[in-house]
Amino acid sequence: MSVAPLPDLLIAPLVRAALAEDLGRAGDVTAQACIAADARISAVFAARKPGVVSGLACVRLAIGELDPTAEVRLLANDGEAVAAGGQLAWVEGNARALLSAERTALNLVGRLSGIATLTRAYVEAVAGTEARIADTRKTTPGLRALEKYAVRCGGGVNHRFGLDDAILIKDNHVAACGSVGEAMRRAKAAAGHLMKIEVEVDSLSQLDEALAEMPDVIMLDNFGLEDLRKAVLKTAGRVVLEASGGITLETVRAVAETGVDVISVGALTHSASVLDIGLDAARAA
């Protein structure tokens, strides 16, 4: 699966911050103690388990930050499914630098590949339906751009990136405004002509209230399957319908078959297991 890469401009500050956290005040004292300053080493990043790759730029940038002369050869592509034992990248450079960058590179590529792998599982579970799998804002603080990129690597689509790129009226907004209709009217009055409006509803009666104001998207929060089907019939394609709330790999197919357009799953980013990736080094020269 081909995915447009993120620019280094966005990734590099995150990698630098992770390296700085790991190196601390004195740098890698183990590498300094055990390895000659001019020693060089080659190594391979390899998957220990099957999965979908994401975040290989983090490997390249982490190593390049500590050894600008290092050679990094990517052997896989983001969005590609790899088997256990599959090689992701070959690297050669200063031994101290490579070993100092190792954990930062593995932490990032393993985390992002885990998200991509879980997303791919959800996408495959709804294959043949019209539903698309979307993420949420339940991301690791500071890593949202990378984690949402990983979702795209897995075949999912991104929900809003932050509070500023779409109006999403949730249950607490409705409570503060008094009703779905009032919240919608206020949102419409404030929104620019390019700003989309989504409203969350938790019942069919609230769905009727939302439809009267015609938002761009209606989120059906924790609806049962029968009510999802009724909502699809009632809406008749007039707005985009998004199902959300506690949807798992075991239930997502049934939700998709109700006819909803989008299924948002917070677990893609908040509960994905890290893909086990390791670095296998040759003897230092």
Q: Which residues are catalytic?
A: 103, 138, 170, 200, 221
CA-CA distance, 62 to 200, in Å (whole number)? Answer: 41
CA angle 268, 270, 272 (to 5 degrees): 55
62: Cα within 13 Å, side-chain hemisphere: 29
Measured CA to CA, the distance from residue 74 to residue 116 in angstroms comes to 18
Strand order in the sheet with 277-281: 71-74, 87-94, 40-47, 277-281
Residue 160 makes CB contacts below 8 A (sequence gap 6+) with 137, 166, 168
Question: For residue 257, what are the CA distances in angstroms to 202, 208, 248, 261?
Answer: 20, 22, 14, 10
Q: Is residue 248 classed as helix, strand or coil in its secondary structure? A: coil
Q: 3-state class of 216 per DSSP?
A: coil
Cβ–Cβ under 8 Å, residues 112 and 119:
no
Please check whether residue 123 is in contact with residue 253, taking contact to mean a CB–CB distance below 8 angstroms. Answer: no
For residues 3 and 78, is the Cβ–Cβ distance under 8 A? yes
Nearest C-alpha neighbor of 268 from the set 146, 136, 180, 102: 136
Tokens describing residue 161: 């990136």
How far, in Å, are 30, 168, 187, 204 from residue 192 at the CA level?
56, 14, 10, 28
